[in-house]
């Protein structure tokens, strides 16, 4: 069985964009590790940063536990993720510690600066993780660069509103109740998302997004992915083969 490492910026990003696929992978016996760069301490008007950070770490761990996944937070500041030396070492250490076969990263183009920064950091950490002389923490260098995939951006669009096309989709209708339950653990975000993002019902918006992505693949509900296949990253369709029945965009 394989190990899948999903890294994003804030607690609840993975739930919104890729938890259905992770639920399917966990169900067929693969190990899933969820990492967020930040604890999302910006996401509150009621709590001080250190208080909401604790709450959100707890919510993310509870969400991951629903599919038997583990959760780790790198503790980088919310709205303070940059492609710099310290952060690249931190992300590389996380990749080495997980020893993944597959890595899921945020879309390179997305609405939030942390999402885009984490995307670059993860892409480069996958390369750096296999370089023995690049020193981070205690974890040993990987034997090879893992397979890298980009998750959909929020709303399926870049900052200018241009749709980001997926290479392939994953049918998540059957596991949607698990994905929904995972997002529901992020209770602290419901009021925040209503205020900051003008989304009065976070869970209804999740279902609406899953259905909208589903239309692109002619199924009820889907999540989209792009494989990063450029030199010297692996090009073989490892995740697609693991899932067995991926969807082609129509
Ligand atoms: Zn986010």
CA of 78 to the centre of ligand 1 (A): 9
In which element (H, E) is residue 3 found?
strand 3-8
CA of 26 to the centre of ligand 1 (A): 23
Neighbour count for residue 206 (Cβ, 10 Å): 22
Number of domains in the chain: 1
CA of 133 to the centre of ligand 1 (A): 32
Look at residue 203 in the predicted model and tell me its pLDDT. 96
Look at residue 173 in the predicted model and tell me its pLDDT. 98
CA of 206 to the centre of ligand 1 (A): 14
- Could you give the CA distance from residue 56 to residue 92 in angstroms, rounded to a whole number? 23
CA of 79 to the centre of ligand 1 (A): 10
CA of 153 to the centre of ligand 1 (A): 10
Interaxial angle between packed helices 85-98 and 113-128, expressed in degrees from 0 to 180 and rounded to the nearest 10: 60
Q: Quickly list DSSP for 39-82.
A: --TTS-SSS-HHHHHHHHHHHHHHHHHTTT-EEEEEEEPTT---
Name the token pair of 3. Answer: 């190990």
CA of 12 to the centre of ligand 1 (A): 7
CA of 140 to the centre of ligand 1 (A): 29
Which residues, in sequence order, are CB contacts of 244 under 8 Å at separation 6+?
Answer: none
Q: Is 249 a domain residue? A: no
Q: Is 138 a domain residue? A: yes
Burial category of 110 from C-beta neighbours within 10 Å (exposed 0-12, middle 13-18, buried 19 and up): buried
Neighbour count for residue 43 (Cβ, 10 Å): 25
CA of 106 to the centre of ligand 1 (A): 9
CA of 9 to the centre of ligand 1 (A): 5
Look at residue 111 in the predicted model and tell me its pLDDT. 95
Order of strands across the sheet that contains 222-228: 70-76, 31-38, 3-8, 102-105, 147-151, 222-228, 168-171
Look at residue 250 in the predicted model and tell me its pLDDT. 87
Look at residue 73 in the predicted model and tell me its pLDDT. 98
Q: Is 143 a domain residue? A: yes
CA of 218 to the centre of ligand 1 (A): 27
CA of 8 to the centre of ligand 1 (A): 7
Helix ranges restricted to H, the chain: 13-17, 19-27, 49-65, 85-98, 113-128, 176-184, 189-197, 202-215, 238-243
Q: What is the pLDDT along the chain (250 residues), one digit of tens a residue?
A: 999 999 999 999 999 999 999 999 999 999 999 999 999 999 999 999 999 999 999 999 999 999 999 999 999 999 999 999 999 999 999 999 999 999 999 999 999 999 999 999 999 999 999 999 999 999 999 999 999 999 999 999 999 999 999 999 999 999 999 999 999 999 999 999 999 999 999 999 999 999 999 999 999 999 999 999 999 999 999 999 999 999 999 8
Q: Is 250 a domain residue? A: no
Q: Is 29 a domain residue? A: yes
Q: Is 188 a domain residue? A: yes
For the entire predicted model, the pTM comes to 0.98
Q: Is 230 a domain residue? A: yes
Query: 161 is in which domain, residue-wise?
Result: 3-243
Residue matched to tokens 């885009």? 116
CA of 154 to the centre of ligand 1 (A): 8
Using DSSP's 3-state secondary structure scheme, residue 36 falls into strand
Range 46-50, long-range pairs (CB < 8 A, 24+ positions): 46/191, 47/188, 49/78
The enclosing domain of 115 has a CATH number of 3.40.50.10320
CA of 248 to the centre of ligand 1 (A): 27
Q: Is 248 a domain residue? A: no
């Amino acid at each position: 069985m394989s190990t899948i490492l999903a890294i994003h910026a804030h607690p609840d990003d993975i739930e919104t964009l890729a938890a259905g696929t992770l639920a399917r992978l966990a169900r067929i016996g693969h190990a899933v590790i969820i990492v967020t760069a930040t604890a999302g301490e910006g996401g509150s008007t009621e709590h001080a940063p250190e208080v909401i950070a604790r709450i959100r770490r707890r919510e993310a761990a509870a969400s991951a536990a629903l599919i038997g996944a583990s959760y780790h937070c790198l503790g980088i500041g919310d709205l303070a993720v940059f492609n710099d030396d310290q952060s690249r070492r931190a992300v590389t250490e996380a990749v080495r510690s997980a020893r993944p076969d597959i890595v899921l990263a945020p879309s390179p183009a997305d609405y939030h600066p942390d999402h885009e920064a984490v995307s670059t950091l993860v892409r480069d950490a996958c390369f750096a993780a296999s370089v023995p002389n690049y020193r981070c923490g205690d974890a040993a260098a990987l034997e090879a660069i893992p397979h890298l995939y980009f998750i959909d951006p929020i709303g399926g669009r870049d900052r200018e509103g241009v749709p980001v096309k997926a290479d392939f989709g994953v049918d998540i209708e059957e596991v949607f109740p698990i994905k929904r339950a995972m997002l529901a653990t992020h209770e602290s975000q419901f009021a925040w998302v209503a205020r900051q993002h003008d989304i009065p019902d976070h869970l209804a918006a999740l279902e609406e997004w899953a259905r909208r992505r589903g239309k692109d693949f002619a199924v009820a509900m889907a999540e989209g992915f792009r494989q990063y296949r450029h030199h010297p990253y692996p090009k073989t369709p490892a995740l697609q083969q693991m899932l067995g029945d991926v969807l082609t965009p129509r």
